[in-house]
Every structure is written in structure tokens, then in C-alpha cells.
Amino acid sequence: MAKHAKWVGPLFLLLFTVATQAQTPSDSLPHGRFVRRTVRVGQPIRYELAYRHASDLEVIFPDSTTNFGSFELIRRSYRPTRTQQGRSLDRTVYLLRTFSLDSVQQLRLPVLVLRGRDTLTISSLPDSVRILRTAPPLQPGAPTPTLRANVQPLPVEARFNYPYWLAGLVLLLTLVGGLVLGFRKRLRRRYQRYRRRKNHAYFLAQYARHVERFELSRSLTNIERAITLWKNYLSGLENNTINSLTTREIVAHYHHDPRVAQALQLADRMIYGNQLMEEETESALVFELLREFAESQYQAVERTYAK
């Protein structure tokens, strides 16, 4: 009896070790399953993959580069890792679809476990889904139905082609910018000439209106307004400040030009001396001399900028 008792201890230890290994939990392998048991062709279906492991392991779940067999990946979403008592649970939900016509289709996905420089691949247990067919099955011996072809084009809503229009707009702006940089001096001259021509035409029209009002009312106010308009126009045309100068200073500024001297002296005598003649010759002479001088100054400026 003592002879057999010495083998009881080692035998008990061996049985305990085997029993412990046999009780290894089934969640040590990744678990994948379809949320539904049936699916139609092209219909999205969710597939959940879960893996319970030690919390110190680094685990990588399948991504878009993984081969999903007869299924296509639409998108995926990760669930937060939950850790309890040194065990972590990772879950990922994949949205898949299939266009295969096999009645039953299986899927098993691998999970990568990183251990230093080594990588361990652990595959989940396979799970299957059954394809629901929407077309009625053919009776034995029945002819295959003829497919009807519809080649008539359907109307398609026209869409604005933003990339091409933006590229065209950038090209147009670049071209315009190049033209402006290359011909900016000439363009500036043409624009200034256009402005001078418009301002001169506006001056002549307003000046003629003051003359016409004076002839109708014989009011000295219209003479003052005409002379003020004349001064302001020449100030803008020649870029000077004669509109703030006295009559004597204006005459000296234009080197005692006889037209300016005679017109402004007659105008001062009529306005400040209140000597409006019954005859229209002097007032008409004032308006004519000032208009002629403005015309000559405009032509002189045009010749200067044309050089």
C-alpha cells in the first residue's frame, strides 16, 4: 500500500494541470457573428467581431485592406475597450454587403496580436449567413425567361462643373493679370484720356446750361456759377489750385493771357461793380473767352500726355 501511495501525489498534480488547461475559457478566440441570419443580394448587413484578451496585449482588428471573401466592406465602427480584472474586450462592427449568389456564405476574420517583434494571427470561428432570393425558383423543365432589354436613355439632371469653371476662372484671371502688367502704362493713359474726355464734355454741357440760364434771367448769380465751374474744371484738368486764387493771381498764373485777363476783368466789373450792361456783347464775350481758353487748355493737356 505504501508502495502505491508514493505515486498518488505526482498523479494528482498531473490531473490538476490537465483539468486547468481544459477549463481555458472559450473567449480566448475572436468571436465573429452576423446580426441577422439572412440577407438579400446587395443589402447591407452588420457583422460584429469581439475579442477578449489580456489587458497588456496590443491587438489590431481588420481594416479596409483585409480580404472579406465574398463580402464588400462599406464602413466600420469601433467600440470603446472595456477592461475588468485584467481582461480587455475589444469590439468592432463592420457593415458589409455581398453580390455573390451562393446560397450560404461564410466569413471568418483574423485578429493580429503584437508581441514585441512577433505578430500572432488569430482567426475567429466562422459564421454564416443565408441569401434570400427574391425571384421565384424555376420549375423543373421550365424554360429560362427571356430578359427584356431597355436601352432608352433616362433623363439626367445637368450638374454645374465646378472644377472646370474654377480652372477657367483662374486661367482668365491669370491672363487678365498678365495683360494688365504688360500694358498697364498704356492702359493707364487710355483710361486717363477717357476720364479727361468725359470731364471735358460734362464741363461744356454744364457751362452751356449756365450761359443759357443767364440769357433767360440776366442774373449775375449765373455768371458767378459759370466762372466757379470754369475754375474748378481747370483745377482738375491741370491739377492746380486756381479755384482758390484771386483774379490777379489767376491772370499771373496763366502769364497774363489776354483772354483770361479780359474775361475775368469784365466779369469782376459786372459782379462786384453791379454794372450789368443792357447790351449782351460784354457778357457774351466773357462766356466765349472763358470757353475758348478752357478748350485750348484741354487740347494742350492732351498733346502733353500723347507724347
Q: What is the pLDDT of residues 236-245, one digit of tens each?
A: 988 888 888 8
Residue 201 has pLDDT above 90, yes or no: yes
CA nearest neighbour of 128 among 61, 38, 188, 62 = 38
Residue 9 has pLDDT above 70, yes or no: no
Check residue 25 and give its pLDDT: 38
Residue 4 has pLDDT above 60, yes or no: no
Q: What is the largest CA-CA distance in the chain?
A: 165
Q: How far apart are CA 277 and CA 279, in angstroms?
A: 5
Task: Count H helices and E strands in the chain, helices first.
Answer: 7, 10
Three cell numbers at 55? 489587458
Sequence-separated (6 or more) residues with CB below 8 Å from residue 133: none
